[in-house]
């Protein structure tokens, strides 16, 4: 098929179709619909009382979300109201009138996602469409991740923590509870940054409904040190070490253990995994700061 002669939005939809298939979805077009074909089925042009949706997502035969497809270079934040309109419309053959939970806006290059179960729903950019199994797991959960971060975090036990560590952890959790996904903790050398981070990770996994946390380092040696500190960490009031209840994986390849709750990885290897480019093992032994310093002096 020569896609160059197609309209820009049609070209975008063909790309979106392929991305959905790669994520494990069966793509169909109304009215030829077979919701039993697989766990996850996406139906194009599915009818609602406000017009047909670009894509309607079904997991185990239940409608769970919508995708609004647009041509490349579209400002996706400007079409969020349109996506919400379809998510709150009356959908053909669906008796439940509650809004659909998962909203997407997409071009061939960019995907925005909103979870309506959040306390203050807002869109964020994601790398790819979620698998049907992921949305199924989320639908089974009582609350969304951001809901848990806002409402389920208990008071921080302050024994054995320095004041700067207390401020860092409580500040991080307050930021996340206010739906601010980006936070920066700035601590002096020797203040116990890794210990602080591990305390925060423990609380996010056990109280914040987090599934997996990426712990990025810039050299392989720092990764080994972080793994040792995770293994030596015993939460306050507990008789067991962190790694006895949570699987900690230090990545030495592109394979991530599906049961791992903490993945320790160098920036260099993570770039290799995301880009699909092979990694020179020696690259993990030099930090980006050291590389820049060497470039300046050479």
Last residue of a domain, which of 85, 109, 140? 140
Share of the chain above pLDDT 70, in %: 95
Could you read off the pLDDT of 59-107 as tens digits, one per residue? 999 999 999 999 999 999 999 999 999 999 999 989 888 999 999 999 9
What confidence tier does 284 reach under pLDDT thresholds 50, 70, 90?
A: confident
Last residue of a domain, which of 115, 140, 165? 140
> What is d(CA 199, CA 183) in angstroms, rounded to the nearest whole number?
16
Please list the alpha-helical segments (H only) found in the chain.
8-22, 80-87, 132-140, 145-151, 163-177, 193-207, 220-231, 242-245, 267-275, 288-297
Could you read off the pLDDT of 212-265 as tens digits, one per residue? 999 999 999 999 999 999 999 999 888 899 999 999 999 999 899 999 999 999
In contact, 184 and 196? CB cutoff 8 Å:
no
For residues 136 and 168, membership in a common domain is answered with no
For residues 31 and 168, membership in a common domain is answered with no
* 125 backbone dihedrals φ, ψ, rounded to 5°: -80, 135
Last residue of a domain, which of 103, 122, 140? 140
For residues 153 and 67, membership in a common domain is answered with no
For residues 238 and 169, membership in a common domain is answered with yes
What confidence tier does 179 reach under pLDDT thresholds 50, 70, 90?
A: confident
For residues 81 and 63, membership in a common domain is answered with yes
For residues 210 and 293, membership in a common domain is answered with yes
DSSP 129: P
Angle between helices 193-207 and 163-177 (to 10 degrees): 40
CATH number for the domain that contains residue 176: 3.40.50.300
**Token digits for 136?**
């199924």
Give the range of the structural domain holding residue 46, as residue numbers without chain letter.
3-140
User: What pLDDT, on the 0 to 100 scale, is given for residue 2?
Assistant: 46
For residues 73 and 153, membership in a common domain is answered with no
For residues 133 and 181, membership in a common domain is answered with no
Domain count, the chain: 2
Share of the chain above pLDDT 90, in %: 72
For residues 171 and 279, membership in a common domain is answered with yes
Q: Which residue has the tokens 């971060």?
A: 149
User: What pLDDT, on the 0 to 100 scale, is given for residue 275?
Assistant: 84
Strand partners, 29: 32, 44
For residues 130 and 54, membership in a common domain is answered with yes
For residues 84 and 130, membership in a common domain is answered with yes
For residues 194 and 237, membership in a common domain is answered with yes
User: What pLDDT, on the 0 to 100 scale, is given for residue 236?
Assistant: 86
């Amino acid at each position: 098929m020569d896609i160059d002669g197609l309209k820009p939005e049609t070209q975008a939809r063909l790309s979106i179709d392929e991305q959905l298939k790669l994520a494990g979805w069966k793509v169909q077009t109304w009215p030829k619909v077979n919701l039993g074909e697989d766990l996850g089925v996406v139906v194009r042009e599915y009818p609602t009382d406000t017009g047909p949706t670009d894509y309607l997502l079904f997991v185990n035969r239940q409608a769970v979300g919508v995708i609004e497809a647009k041509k490349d270079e579209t400002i996706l934040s400007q079409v969020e109201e349109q996506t919400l309109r379809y998510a709150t419309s009356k959908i053909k053959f669906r008796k439940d009138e509650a809004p659909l939970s998962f909203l997407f806006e997409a071009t061939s290059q960019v995907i925005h996602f909103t979870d309506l179960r959040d306390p203050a729903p807002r869109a964020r950019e994601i790398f790819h469409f979620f698998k049907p199994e992921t949305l199924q797991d989320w639908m089974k959960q009582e609350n969304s991740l951001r809901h848990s971060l806002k409402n389920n975090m208990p008071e921080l036990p302050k024994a054995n923590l320095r004041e700067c560590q207390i401020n860092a952890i409580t500040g991080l959790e307050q930021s996340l509870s206010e739906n601010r996904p980006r936070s920066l903790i700035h601590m002096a050398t020797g203040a116990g940054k890794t210990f602080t981070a591990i305390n925060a990770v423990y609380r996010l996994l056990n109280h914040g409904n987090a599934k997996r946390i990426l712990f990025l380092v810039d050299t392989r040696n720092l990764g080994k040190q972080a793994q040792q500190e995770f293994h030596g960490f015993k939460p306050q009031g507990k008789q067991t070490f962190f790694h006895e209840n949570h699987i900690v994986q230090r990545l030495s390849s592109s394979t991530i253990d599906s049961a791992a709750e903490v993945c320790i990885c160098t920036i260099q290897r993570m770039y290799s995994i995301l880009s699909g480019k092979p990694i020179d093992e020696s690259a993990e032994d030099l930090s980006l700061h050291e590389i820049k310093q060497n470039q300046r002096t050479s």
